[in-house]
């Protein structure tokens, strides 16, 4: 049975774009409950200045808490070398840096153009090597940008290759703006793989236009083994207008489990996590078809019938 890693990014990407700050106790309850449901990797936050994203001010405390959960891979986002140093000090198992393929978005998001970002990637890679932790580069806005429109696939390949030379250990392709379609996903995965090989493992998808699961399936067809998702579909990029809605973790797990793929996640237990978010964020809409309709019968039971 093929193993697919569902990486929960809700505590970071899900919370960074909403105005309300989720209480620390609720975040801890969320992380613990998802881990108990079988989620083996959680992006617990990002090491950005609290003045910019107050929702992420408690990330170091969350890393310390999450590290106490056996078997959980604790990861965080870092925007630069300073954030990477803080992440290492906090004790993360791994970290990723967003590298926008749209230079306009890069400047708005992290205030750096492409040459400056490649320098940051090299600096973060050195910090990661010295600390002995995993370091990934997220190729964001790879499928299109709300500021620049279409993004050149050749440029994505060139910047991915440059990131590899700078020290990236792993890559994800991010549909930051929800522009991707399944054919584009397949094409871009193949192109980026032609320059970075099997270091491209991950898709970070948004469901802004309802194509999240279709794009995930397209990625699986091309050998992608890790899919980012957010419980209740929370999130989006605060510096990409209109980019609402991450891929819904509950719906993704339903699809993968129904296909007979191994996620290691108990869907019933995962659905039981949702009330934690509803109670802590009463003004935030939660998305997903599965929580409304309920899970399907067990895969093996359906096959037997």
Burial class (CB in 10 A: 0-12, 13-18, 19+), 128: buried
Give the span between the Cα atoms of 294 and 288, in whole angstroms.
Answer: 10
Q: How is residue 107 written in tokens?
A: 């400047």
Catalytic pick from 48, 66, 237, 254? Answer: 237
Q: Which of 11, 68, 19, 18 is nearest to 45 (CA)?
A: 11
Backbone angles phi, psi at 143, to 5 degrees: -105, 5
Burial class (CB in 10 A: 0-12, 13-18, 19+), 266: middle
Q: Which of 66, 68, 50 is nearest to 58 (CA)?
A: 50
Give the span between the Cα atoms of 279 and 284, in whole angstroms.
Answer: 10
Contacts of 38 (CB under 8 A, 6+ apart): 263, 264, 265, 266, 269, 270
145 catalytic residue (yes or no): no
Q: How is residue 201 written in tokens?
A: 């493992």
Helix H or strand E segment including 122 = helix 114-131
Residues 180 and 139: beta-carbon distance below 8 Å? no
Give the span between the Cα atoms of 276 and 235, in whole angstroms.
Answer: 16
Catalytic residues: 237
């Amino acid at each position: 049975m093929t193993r697919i890693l569902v990486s929960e990014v809700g505590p970071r990407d899900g919370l960074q774009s909403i105005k309300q700050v989720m209480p620390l106790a609720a975040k801890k309850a969320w992380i613990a409950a998802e881990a108990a449901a079988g989620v083996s990797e959680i992006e617990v936050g990002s090491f950005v200045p609290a003045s910019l994203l107050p929702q992420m001010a408690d990330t170091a405390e969350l890393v310390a808490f999450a590290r106490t959960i056996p078997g959980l891979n604790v990861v965080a986002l870092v925007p630069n070398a300073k954030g990477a140093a803080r992440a290492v000090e906090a004790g993360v198992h791994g970290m990723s840096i967003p590298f926008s393929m749209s230079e306009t978005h890069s400047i708005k998001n992290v205030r750096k153009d492409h040459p400056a970002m490649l320098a940051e990637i090299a600096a973060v890679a050195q910090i990661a090597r010295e600390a002995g932790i995993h370091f990934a580069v997220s190729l964001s806005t790879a499928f299109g940008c709300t500021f620049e429109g279409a993004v050149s696939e050749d440029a994505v390949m060139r910047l991915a290759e440059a990131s590899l030379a700078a020290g990236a250990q792993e890559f994800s392709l991010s549909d930051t703006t929800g522009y991707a379609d399944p054919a584009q996903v397949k094409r871009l995965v193949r192109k980026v793989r032609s320059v970075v090989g099997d270091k491209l493992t991950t898709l970070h998808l948004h469901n802004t236009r309802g194509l999240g699961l279709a794009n995930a399936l397209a990625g699986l067809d091309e050998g992608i083994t890790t899919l980012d998702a957010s419980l209740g579909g929370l999130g989006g990029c605060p510096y990409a207008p209109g980019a609402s809605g991450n891929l819904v973790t509950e719906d993704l797990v339903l699809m993968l489990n129904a296909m007979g793929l191994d996620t290691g996640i108990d869907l019933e237990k995962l659905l039981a996590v949702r009330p934690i978010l509803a109670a802590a964020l009463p003004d935030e809409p939660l998305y997903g078809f599965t929580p409304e309709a309920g899970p399907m019968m067990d895969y093996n039971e359906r096959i037997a019938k």
